[in-house]
Amino acid sequence: MAKIKLAKSKVDKLVEICKSFNNEGSELINVLHKAQETFGYLPAEVQEIIARELNVSVAHVYGVVTFYSFFSMVPKGEFPISICMGTACYVRGAEKVLEEFKRQLNVPVGETTEDGKFSISCLRCVGACGLAPVVTIGERVYGRVAAGDVADIIKEYQS
């Protein structure tokens, strides 16, 4: 095993998560979901422990983590912003909205602002195409967002 740099409580938590899925290698995606929900992201150390607990190779875990855009190896912000780039949102101007978020927060897609407050990611369709373009921040959904709305949306979270 790698030189684990996580706190013991976190390791224990991960072991518990894996156990709740019977340490089945085939449950890898569910375990990763739960782990990301718990820790906010999936750093290398977390992947090492999951691989050990599920008895699969670390390379395989890393392969799955890098395949799905939902999984992240960098910490997400306190308020994770996701801009839908699905077909409907895209044709209705999602790209301009994305550019505006990037400009205002000064971070590229997949990264987090220095104060740890916001992170930007893209996703493909949240199933609310009637509201296109759609932006989600945490659990909250914003519909028919225009580039001009971005500053106001960010302001809501800055107080």
* Binding status of residue 38 toward other proteins by CB under 8 A: no
Q: Does residue 108 bind other proteins (CB under 8 A)?
A: no
Cβ–Cβ under 8 Å, residues 51 and 60: yes
Residue 6 φ/ψ, nearest 5 degrees: -85, 155
- The answer to whether 61 contacts other proteins (rule: CB under 8 A) is yes
Residue 76 Cα distances to 58, 60, 137, 147, angstroms? 22, 23, 11, 23
**Residue with the two structure tokens 């509201």:** 131
Query: Does residue number 57 form part of the binding site for other proteins (CB under 8 A)?
Result: yes
- Binding status of residue 7 toward other proteins by CB under 8 A: no
Residue 26 binds other proteins, judged by CB under 8 A? no
Q: Cα dihedral angle (8, 14, 17, 19), rounded to 10 degrees?
A: -80
* Candidate residues 35, 48, 100, 133; the one interacting with other proteins per rule CB under 8 A: 48
Would you count residue 63 as binding other proteins (CB under 8 A)?
yes
- Site membership for other proteins, residue 20 (CB under 8 A): no
Using CB under 8 A as the criterion, which residues of the chain lie in contact with other proteins when the complex forms?
Answer: 1-3, 5, 44-45, 47-48, 56-63, 66-67, 69
